[in-house]
Amino acid sequence: MFLRNTIYKSDIYNWSLRGSVPVRTRGTPPDSWVGEADAGTEVLAGNHVLFGHSRHLGDLPWKNSQLSDAEQRLLHRFGFLGDLKALGTEEAQAKGQELMSRWVNEYGRWHAIAWEPAVTGRRLTNWFRTYDFLQNPDHPGFALTFLESAATQMRHLSRTLSDVEDDVRAIEAAEGLILGAMCLVGMEALLDTGMAALESAITKQVLPDGGHFQRNPSIQRSVLATMVRIRDTLIAGQVDTPYWLQHAIDRLAPMLQAMRHSDGKLALFNGSSEGSKKAIDSILKAAGSSNLGLWSAPHTGFQRIESGSSVVIADAGAGILSGSNRDAHAGLLSFEFSHKDHRIIVNCGANANRNDDWHEALRATAAHSSLTLDDTNAMEVYMGGGSVNKKTDVSCRRNEAEGSTFLQMRQDGYEHPFGLIHNRDIYLAAGGDDLRGRDAIAMSPNYMGPQASNFCVRFHLHPDVSAELAGGGDSAILKVSNKEGWRLRCSGGDMTVEDSAYLGVAGTVRRARQILISGPCKSVGVEVKWSLIKESS
């Protein structure tokens, strides 16, 4: 790594990236992406939203010494150009030109963070996506700066594709090269390199059921949007769409649809956030997807139950798949439940900023609607990202009859520390107003190690849901903001209501409540039964 970086910093390497400057662009990628005009107004004032928080960074935002590496990577990707384009004013156009030109002056040659393959690929993508807005015939100097820098970055990117991490970042890097080869006259020879890298990444990362192997609904959305954008760019450039690309889109779209709640936004697993219903609708429409999603995704490990106006999405998959554990959460057998446009039972969400204390806390099993033993994670996650690469046996059986659905799930994440197996059953009756479950822990045969002392089954509630104990403490009344009421009953443990937090929207921490069913672990095992039934009006 040190030797490679030393070479990249050298004048000789910088000279090797020089070549003929493209005379013009062939066009810009067809894209349904629309930024936020309000955020564009903030950029004009020198403010940038990083991981949901607005920061005043001035006219050279990348040079701020207070930025973390993760925040720098975000800025170097130039996502804010979409917000300036959404604003659409001459001032916004001039600001985009100014920021791009300033970046080229400061980072026009290799830089350890700014020129990482995935960062470079995403930056090029954002440059090409907004160039139709930024270009101005009255400013030919800007066009020359853009063309020369983009070509230089592409030459470096083509040489470093093999260095990119083997996850979604490989897809981001490949897209930048593909769009550049399609959009810049004279750079067409790099198309085959980019497409070969993309095919390799898709082959590994998109599972047979259409799920992305990082098991993060937000990444699922991003990958589908990337595939659609590349396909539409190839079509616009009169280049045949490879079968494998269209096949990936056809598999990715139903899986994304399956990860949506009844409010049209995404479930919260493995680092995802709710996202925008409008944006998700736009991506699925561009993909040519029907409204039909998957019910069962055995390779990715998610189960969806939909009945009446209710939706259950359960994580019945392995905690990690090889190479995918960068942001894996320890939420084995967790689930979320929504009714109509309201989320009721949720996971706590995620914080993408690895330097924030919330990032690690939200990856814990206790931040999910699942079972914990002695406040221990069902799978070990590392500080700063990643998890123990230990095979976890997670299984699921699904049965359907007359409109009702029954899931039987099992995970052995607690077998190593405590010798215990967690079994969870979930049943949703026809009509969607009756949700029932069972959580049981049983001793693994021949286990002779330390024993767990206490169990806790958690139901995290959306901030718009209030909870109050009733019935002598063995039930709770949940009231949704639309005045609907639900009653949660339990047996096999003591019920309490405690504080929780919800980070389903990036950068926003909302107070919430959680219901706990807890008690001591017994040598004969533990069985907790619970039901959530809609109260009649």
The reported pLDDT for the residue numbered 482 is: 75
Helix (H) or strand (E) holding 127: helix 117-134
Q: Number of helices (H) and strands (E), helices first, in the chain?
A: 15, 19
Which residues contact residue 531 at a Cβ distance below 8 angstroms, ignoring those fewer than 6 apart? 434, 435, 436, 437, 488, 489, 490
Q: Does position 248 have pLDDT exceeding 50, yes or no?
A: yes
Q: What is the torsion angle, in degrees rounded to the nearest 10, for the CA atoms of residue 234, residue 235, residue 237 and residue 240?
A: 70
Weakest-pLDDT range from 67-81, 198-212, 225-239, 347-361: 347-361
Mean pLDDT for the stretch of residues 110-135: 96
Q: What whole-number distance in Å separates Cα of residue 54 and Cα of residue 16? A: 39
The reported pLDDT for the residue numbered 153 is: 97
The reported pLDDT for the residue numbered 408 is: 97
Mean pLDDT for the stretch of residues 162-186: 95
Which residues contact residue 473 at a Cβ distance below 8 angstroms, ignoring those fewer than 6 apart? 494, 495
Helix (H) or strand (E) holding 199: helix 191-205
- Residue pLDDT, tens place only, 492-508: 999 999 999 999 998 78
Q: Which residue has the higher pLDDT, 192 or 522?
A: 192
The reported pLDDT for the residue numbered 319 is: 58
Q: Does position 196 have pLDDT exceeding 80, yes or no?
A: yes
Decide: 263 and 280 in contact? Cβ < 8 Å.
no
Q: Does position 384 have pLDDT exceeding 80, yes or no?
A: no
Mean pLDDT for the stretch of residues 400-422: 94
386 band by pLDDT with thresholds 50, 70 and 90:
very low
Decide: 466 and 515 in contact? Cβ < 8 Å.
no
- Picking from 126, 121, 148, the residue whose alpha carbon sits closest to that of residue 25 is 148
Mean pLDDT for the stretch of residues 221-249: 97
What are 516's strand-pairing partners?
458, 496
Mean pLDDT over the full length of the chain: 92
390 band by pLDDT with thresholds 50, 70 and 90:
low
Q: Does position 78 have pLDDT exceeding 80, yes or no?
A: yes
Mean pLDDT for the stretch of residues 34-40: 89
Decide: 360 and 413 in contact? Cβ < 8 Å.
no
Q: Does position 111 have pLDDT exceeding 80, yes or no?
A: yes
Mean pLDDT for the stretch of residues 368-375: 97
Mean pLDDT for the stretch of residues 229-255: 96
Q: Which residue has the higher pLDDT, 481 or 253?
A: 253
310-534 fold: Beta-galactosidase; Chain A, domain 5 (2.70.98)
Which residues contact residue 326 at a Cβ distance below 8 angstroms, ignoring those fewer than 6 apart? 165, 167, 214, 385, 386
> How far from 524 is each of 418, 441, 442, CA to CA, in Å?
14, 9, 7
Q: Does position 532 have pLDDT exceeding 80, yes or no?
A: yes
Q: Does position 388 have pLDDT exceeding 60, yes or no?
A: no
Residue 502 burial (10 A CB sphere; 0-12, 13-18, 19+): buried
183 band by pLDDT with thresholds 50, 70 and 90:
very high
Classify the C-alpha dihedral 119-100-2-67 as positive or negative: negative
167 band by pLDDT with thresholds 50, 70 and 90:
very high
Q: What whole-number distance in Å separates Cα of residue 23 and Cα of residue 184? A: 8
Q: Does position 85 have pLDDT exceeding 80, yes or no?
A: yes
Decide: 460 and 345 in contact? Cβ < 8 Å.
yes
Decide: 75 and 61 in contact? Cβ < 8 Å.
yes
Q: What whole-number distance in Å separates Cα of residue 376 and Cα of residue 387? A: 14
Weakest-pLDDT range from 252-266, 316-330, 379-393: 379-393
Q: Which residue has the higher pLDDT, 483 or 287?
A: 287
Question: Domain residue spans in the chain?
Answer: 310-534
- Picking from 208, 235, 234, 295, the residue whose alpha carbon sits closest to that of residue 259 is 295
Distance from the first to the final alpha carbon of the chain? 65
Q: What whole-number distance in Å separates Cα of residue 495 and Cα of residue 485? A: 18
Q: Does position 292 have pLDDT exceeding 80, yes or no?
A: no
The amino acid sitting at 190 is L
The three-point CA angle 444-496-535 to 5° equals 105
The reported pLDDT for the residue numbered 352 is: 79
pTM of the model: 0.94
Decide: 147 and 184 in contact? Cβ < 8 Å.
yes
The reported pLDDT for the residue numbered 107 is: 96
Q: Which residue has the higher pLDDT, 359 or 240?
A: 240
Q: What whole-number distance in Å separates Cα of residue 422 and Cα of residue 443? A: 9
What are 466's strand-pairing partners?
479
